C-alpha cells in the first residue's frame, strides 16, 4: 500500500496496524528533534525521555492531522513533537534562584572586565573577579546552557500550533511583546554573538559546527553561549 493510500485508509478507519506503519515511517523525525534538543543538556536529562515524549507528540499529531487543510504532515508533526519534548524538559529542568543570582553576577563581572580590559575576558579572569574557582564557573555556565533552550524557544523561536484553538488577543499581544523585547535585546549584542545565536537556534547547527563556522573550539562556543544567555536574561529581567 502506498504512503498516500495508507493515510487515506488510516483517516477512514484509525486502524492500529496502520497507525503503527505511520509511526514507523515518521520515527526518524522524532529522533531528529530529540538529537537536536539533547545537545548541551545536563547529564540528568535522558535522551530516551525526550524520545518517549516525542512519540507521544507524534501519536497526537497522527490523531489530529487533517490532510484537507493543505499542511504537510511533517511540518504539522514537528510542532507537536518538539512541543511535547519541550514540555518534558520543562518538567525535568528548572533553574534554582541561586543559579539566577550567580548568572547575574557572572554577567556583571563579564561586563565590568570587558570595559576594563577592552576585550572579552578569559575564564580565569571571570572566576577571579567573582571570587570562585574555574570548576565552579564552569558549573554555572553548564546550568545556564541547560536552561537557556527553553527560554529562547518560548519567546523568540516559539511557533503557535497550526490547529490549536485561537489564542486570546491579550495573550497574543503579550507573546508578541516578549518576542519583540528579546529581539531588541539580541540586536544590542555584538555581531559575532548574534551570529552564534542564529547558527545554533535558527540554523540548528551543533555547538561543534558553530565553532567551526566561527573558528573557535566547541568549549569556547559553550562558554560564549552561556555568557550571551546570561546577558539577555539580565537585560530582560531589568526592564
Residue 237 is predicted with a pLDDT of 62
Domain boundary among 44, 61, 92: 92
**Arithmetic mean of pLDDT over the chain:** 75
pLDDT band at 197 (very low <50, low <70, confident <90, very high): confident
Domain encompassing residue 41: 3-92
Domain co-membership, 50 together with 168 = no
At residue 131, the pLDDT reads 92
| pLDDT computed for residue 158 by the predictor | 41
- State whether 171 and 222 are in the same domain: yes
Q: Among the three residues 29, 62, 92, which one is the final residue of a domain in this structure?
A: 92
CATH number of the domain bearing residue 165: 1.10.10.10
Cβ atoms within 10 A of the Cβ of 180, count?
12
Q: What is the mean pLDDT of residues 118-140?
A: 87
Highest-pLDDT range among 17-21, 134-138, 224-228: 134-138
The whole-number pLDDT of residue 172 equals 46
Residues 72 and 112 in one domain: no
Candidates 22, 8, 19; CA nearest to 68 is 8
The residue among 228 and 202 whose pLDDT is bigger is 228
Same domain, 182 and 111: yes
pLDDT grade, residue 95 (50/70/90)?
Answer: low
Amino acid 173: pLDDT: 42
Instruction: Using CA atoms of 84, 232, 177, 83 in order, give the dihedral in degrees to the nearest 10.
Output: -10
- Looking at the structure of the chain, the number of domains it has is 2
Burial class (CB in 10 A: 0-12, 13-18, 19+), 221: buried
- Average pLDDT of span 35-41: 66
Q: How confident is the model at residue 128 (pLDDT cuts 50, 70, 90)?
A: very high
Rounded Cα–Cα distance for residues 223 and 55 (Å): 32
pLDDT number for residue 159: 39
Co-location of 112 and 195 in the same domain: yes
Question: What's residue 99's pLDDT?
Answer: 64
- Do 52 and 67 sit in the same domain of this protein? yes
Same domain as 120, residue 81: no
Supply 31's cell numbers. Answer: 529522533
Question: Is the pLDDT confidence value at 220 over 60?
Answer: yes
Give the model's pLDDT for residue 88: 77
Q: What is the dihedral of CA 135, 139, 141, 142, to 10 degrees?
A: 130
Asked if the model's pLDDT at residue 75 lies above 70, the reply is yes
pLDDT the model gives residue 55: 92
Cα dihedral: 122, 126, 132, 137 (round 10): -70
The pLDDT tens digits for 116-125 are 888 888 889 9
Domain co-membership, 22 together with 111: no
Domain end: 92, 107, 135, which one? 92
Classify residue 201 by its DSSP letter: I
What is the model's pTM? 0.45
- 73 and 174 in a common domain: no
Listed ranges 35-39, 67-71, 193-197; the one with the highest mean pLDDT: 193-197
| CATH number of domain containing 81 | 1.10.1740.10
Specify whether 19 is located in the same domain as 76. yes
Write down the pLDDT at residue 93.
55
Amino acid at each position: 500500500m502506498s504512503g498516500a493510500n495508507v493515510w487515506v485508509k488510516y483517516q477512514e478507519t484509525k486502524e492500529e496496524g496502520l497507525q503503527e506503519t505511520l509511526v514507523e515511517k515518521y520515527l526518524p523525525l522524532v529522533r531528529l528533534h530529540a538529537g537536536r534538543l539533547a545537545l548541551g543538556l545536563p547529564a540528568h536529562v535522558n535522551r530516551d525521555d525526550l524520545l518517549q515524549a516525542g512519540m507521544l507528540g507524534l501519536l497526537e499529531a497522527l490523531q489530529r492531522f487533517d490532510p484537507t487543510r493543505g499542511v504537510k504532515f511533517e511540518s504539522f508533526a514537528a510542532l507537536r513533537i518538539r512541543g511535547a519534548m519541550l514540555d518534558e524538559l520543562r518538567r525535568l529542568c528548572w533553574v534554582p534562584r541561586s543559579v539566577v543570582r550567580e548568572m547575574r553576577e557572572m554577567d556583571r563581572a563579564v561586563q565590568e572586565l570587558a570595559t576594563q580590559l577592552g576585550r572579552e575576558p578569559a575564564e580565569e579572569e571571570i572566576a577571579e573577579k567573582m571570587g570562585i574557582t574555574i570548576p565552579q564557573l564552569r558549573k554555572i555556565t553548564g546550568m545556564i546552557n541547560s536552561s537557556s533552550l527553553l527560554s529562547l524557544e518560548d519567546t523568540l523561536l516559539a511557533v503557535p500550533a497550526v490547529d490549536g484553538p485561537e489564542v486570546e488577543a491579550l495573550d497574543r499581544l503579550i507573546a508578541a511583546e516578549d518576542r519583540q523585547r528579546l529581539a531588541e535585546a539580541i540586536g544590542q549584542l555584538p555581531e559575532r554573538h548574534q551570529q552564534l545565536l542564529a547558527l545554533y537556534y535558527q540554523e540548528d547547527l551543533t555547538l561543534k559546527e558553530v565553532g567551526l563556522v566561527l573558528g573557535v573550539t566547541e568549549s569556547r562556543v559553550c562558554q560564549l553561549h552561556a555568557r550571551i544567555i546570561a546577558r539577555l536574561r539580565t537585560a530582560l529581567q531589568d526592564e
